[in-house]
Structure 1
Amino acid sequence: MNDLTEKEQLDELRAWWTENRWMVIGGIALGIAIIVGIRMRGSFETEAALSASSQYEALLEEVAAERSDPARTIADTLFNEYEDTVYADQARLAMARLYMDSGRDADAADVLRPLATARGDEPMQLVARLRLAKILLYQEKPEEVLELVKTPKDSAFAARYNEVLGDAHFALGNFEKAAESYNAVLADERGQQTVDLALVRMKLNDLPGGDDADTISLPAAAAMPEPADVEPSAEVEE
C-alpha cells in the first residue's frame, strides 16, 4: 500500500520543513516588507502632497500681495522638492502672471518654459504653452510661437491656439495662413466662448485683402457683449 502511516507523514513534514523553512520564512518576511513599504509610501506621498499644498497656498498669498522675492523663494521650493506634483505646475503659472504684472516678461517666459515645452498635452501644459506664446508675441518672436504652438487635440483649447497662430503668421507676413487660422477660430463653435469673436473678426478684416476674403459669418450671438477672457476648462488655480 502507498498509504503512509501517521508517523511517516509527520517525519516527511519535518524533513520538508527542515529543508524549506528559510525559504518560507523569507517569503513571509518579504510579503510583510512589501505591505509595510506600500503603507509607508502612501503615508509619505500624502504628507508630501499636504506640504506642497501648504507651500502653494503661501505662494498665492505672496503673489496676491505682489511680493516677488518671497514668492520666488517659495516657488523654488515647489520646483525643486515637489516637481512631480500639480502644485509645482500651478506655481509656474502663478509666478508667470506675477512677473508679467511687474513688467518682467523675460522672467515670465523663463518660468513658464519648462512646463510649456514638456512633452504631453495635459491641461496645464496647454495653458502654459498658450501663455508663453503670448509672451513671445509681445517680445516680437513670432517664429518661436510657430515652433511652440500646434493646434491641440483638446478642442477646448483649439480656438485660443488658432488665434495665437494667426497672430504669429500675421507678424511674419504670412497673411494667407493668418486668415486660415482666424477663420478656424470663427468656425469653432465649441471654442467661441473662449475668445473675443469681434476682435478675431477685426484681425481677419485687417489682413491685406481682408474685406474681400472668404470669411465665415459670425453667429448672431456675437452681437451680444463678449464674456471675459475665459480660460479653457482646466483645473488650474491662477
Structure 2
Amino acid sequence: MPLDLEEQEQLDQFKAFWQKYRNLITGVLTALLLTYAAYSAYQWWSNSQALAASQLYETMISAINKGDKDQAFLAANDMQKDFSRTPYAAMASLVAAKLASDAGDGAQEMTYLRWTAQHASNHGYQALAKLRLISQLTDQGSAADLAEADVMLKEKPVKGFEALWLERRGDWYLAQKNTQEARSSYEAAWQQLNQTKEFPEEARRLLKVKLDAVGGVAQ
C-alpha cells in the first residue's frame, strides 16, 4: 500500500535524522550495554568474593576453636592476599591481632593492626584497628611510636568513635606526663560519651578511672 504524502514526509524526516545521528545513538547504546555488562560482572565477582571469603573466615574460626593458631594465622594471611576488598579480611586481621596479643607477640599483633588500618574497606573495622594500634604505640612510648600515634590521632575520627579518639589522645598526653592536657582530653571524651548513650558501660567506667586519676571530675 503506497504511503500518503504525510507518512512519506515523516519517513523522510526519520531517515534524515537517523543518517545524521546514527553514530551517536549507536555509541550511546553500546556504552550503556557495556556499562550494564561491567556492572553485572562486578556484582557477580563481588558476590563470589564475599562467599569465598566467608568460607575462609569460617575455616579460621574453626581453627581457633581447635586451638590451631598457625592455621588461623594462615587463613588470615590468605584473606589479606586474596580477599582484601571484603569486610571478612579486616575481621580476620582483627581476630588474628587478638590471637597474637594473647600469645604475647606484640610485633605480629601490630602487623595485623597496621594492615587493617591501611586496607580495611569497612570504616568501623578500620577505626577499631587504629584505636588498638594507637594504644600499643602509646604503651611502647618511644619518640617514634608516639609520633606514629600522633599522626593517626590527628585524623578525623569515624562517626561514632569521637569519644574513643579523645580518650586515646588523653592516653597519648599522659604517656608524656602532660597531665593537664590529658585531663582536658578525658573530660572532652566524657562529654562525648554522655551524648552517645549506646556506649558500653564498661567504656564509661574505664574512662572515669582515667579521669579520676588525673584529677578530673566525672559526673
TM over 0.5: yes
User: For residues 154 and 92 of structure 2, what CA distance do their matches in structure 1 show?
Assistant: 24
On the 8 A contact 1:157/1:191 being kept in 2, the answer is no
On the 8 A contact 2:90/2:121 being kept in 1, the answer is no
Q: CA deviation at 1:47?
A: 1.5
Higher helix share: 2
Q: What's 1:74 paired with?
A: 75
User: For residues 23 and 207 of structure 2, what CA distance do their matches in structure 1 show?
Assistant: 75
Task: Indicate the percent of aligned positions where both proteins have the same amino acid.
Answer: 24
- Between 62-71 and 93-102, report the one with greater CA deviation: 62-71
Q: What's 2:212 paired with?
A: 205
Alignment CA distance shift 1:113-1:172 (3 Å): same
User: For residues 25 and 212 of structure 2, what CA distance do their matches in structure 1 show?
Assistant: 79
Q: What's 1:232 paired with?
A: none
TM-score by length of structure 2 reads: 0.73
Residue 181 in 1 paired to residue 182 in 2?
Answer: no
Higher relative contact order (CA 8 A, sep 6+): 1
SS at match of 1:156: coil
RMSD: 3.6
* Runs (5+) with no aligned partner, structure 1: 219-238
TM-score by length of structure 1 reads: 0.68
Q: CA deviation at 1:113?
A: 0.6
Residue 156 in 1 paired to residue 163 in 2?
Answer: no
Question: Which residue identity is paired with 1:134?
Answer: S
Residue 110 in 1 paired to residue 117 in 2?
Answer: no
Q: CA deviation at 1:30?
A: 7.3
How many residues of Structure 1 are paired with residues of Structure 2 in the alignment?
A: 204
User: For residues 179 and 47 of structure 2, what CA distance do their matches in structure 1 show?
Assistant: 52
Question: Which residue identity is paired with 2:207?
Answer: V
User: For residues 190 and 27 of structure 1, what CA distance do their matches in structure 2 show?
Assistant: 51
Q: CA deviation at 1:126?
A: 0.8
* Runs (5+) with no aligned partner, structure 2: none
